[in-house]
């Protein structure tokens, strides 16, 4: 990837989510450095979901689910918890319905 200047605050926020520096920079560039939120959404929906295992990863690596909640929304804590639970279950169901690759990843997770 060509070296493009990215917002260092956004970069740090993405890296705190466990995203590698290279992937965080790529997500920021592809989303036009708009925000760490848009880059994170892009990463988790595009880069991570469809890239498969990285060259240095193995099936024994640990996986985690990160759910990002915009606390500026006017929802009570119970509603936020319900929405997060729906998102987690939705991902689980999608992975169970998809190819063997996702089912293997789900079993590892």
Instruction: Report pLDDT digits (tens) over 53-101.
Output: 444 444 455 667 788 888 888 888 899 899 989 988 888 887 777 767 7
Is-contact 21 42, C-beta < 8 A? no
**HSE-CB of 28 using CA atoms within 13 angstroms:** 24
The candidate with the shortest Cα–Cα distance to 106, out of 97, 94, 93, 95, is 95
pLDDT in tens, 7-27: 999 999 999 888 889 989 989
Cα-trace Rg, the chain: 15
Tokens found for residue 64:
């985690």
Query: What is this structure's pTM?
Result: 0.46
Query: How many Å apart are CA 74 and CA 60, to the nearest integer?
Result: 40
Which helix (H) or strand (E) segment holds residue 40: the answer is: helix 36-42
Query: How many Å apart are CA 44 and CA 98, to the nearest integer?
Result: 17
């Amino acid at each position: 990837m060509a070296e493009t200047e990215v917002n260092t605050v956004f970069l740090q926020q993405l890296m705190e989510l466990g995203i590698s520096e290279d992937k965080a920079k790529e997500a920021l560039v592809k989303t036009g450095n708009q925000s760490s939120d848009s880059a994170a959404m892009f990463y988790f929906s595009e880069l991570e979901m469809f890239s498969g295992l990285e060259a240095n990863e193995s099936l024994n690596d640990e996986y985690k689910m990160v759910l990002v909640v915009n606390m500026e929304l006017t929802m009570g804590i119970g509603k936020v918890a319900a929405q997060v639970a729906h998102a987690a279950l939705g991902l689980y169901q999608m992975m169970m319905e998809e190819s063997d690759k996702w089912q293997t990843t789900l079993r590892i997770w």
